[in-house]
Amino acid sequence: TDDGRITTVPYDPALGVITSWDLGIGDSTAIWWSQHLSSGETRIIDYYENSGVGLDHYAKVLSEKPYHYEQHILPHDVQVKELGTGKSRLETLDALGIRNIEIAPKLAVEDGIQAARTMIPKCWFDADNCTRGIEALRQYRRAFDEKLKTWRGRPLHDWTSHGADAFRYLAVGYRSQSDWG
């Protein structure tokens, strides 16, 4: 149950926006947009997912939004060098004008899922802008081993994992500006 936390959540221009990404290689890239209040409340104001397009596409999506960006949280694999270019996706994003990138800590998936579970009750989701992301979070689940008739320890990798992983990176990677040293 969402306890009424899936509703209209407008962008507040007085607050910076945090994005959190799951970078797809050959599959979908997902991005959440959030605003964080000092009270601990998190407002999830937008979600976007696409596949088969380059990082320049996502940089354009960000620039077309009316948001003031404070931080972009990306997974650790953003630092891996691409074979074709010899550049990392971090370097490519920087060249595209995406700054203030925070690399999410590399934690066990289960620890990240627990962090996301802890964060969700503090979140308010925009019903219109986040429809697909909300559905991804609702349907995210563990893989089932048909042969052994048991649940596996790892999540099922399907369409839901991109939105869920991007949300997990938000849960483990967000640090308020007061935490910056």
pLDDT in tens, 16-66: 999 999 998 777 999 999 999 989 899 999 999 999 999 999 999 999 999
78 neighbors 101 (Cβ within 8 angstroms): yes
First-to-last CA distance in the chain? 38
User: pTM of the predicted model, to two decimals?
Assistant: 0.89
Alpha-carbon dihedral angle through residues 57, 46, 169, 20, given to the nearest 10 degrees: 40
In the sheet with 101-103, reading across from the earlier edge strand, the strands are 6-7, 123-126, 42-50, 29-36, 17-22, 69-74, 101-103
Identify the residue with better confidence: 41 or 83: 41
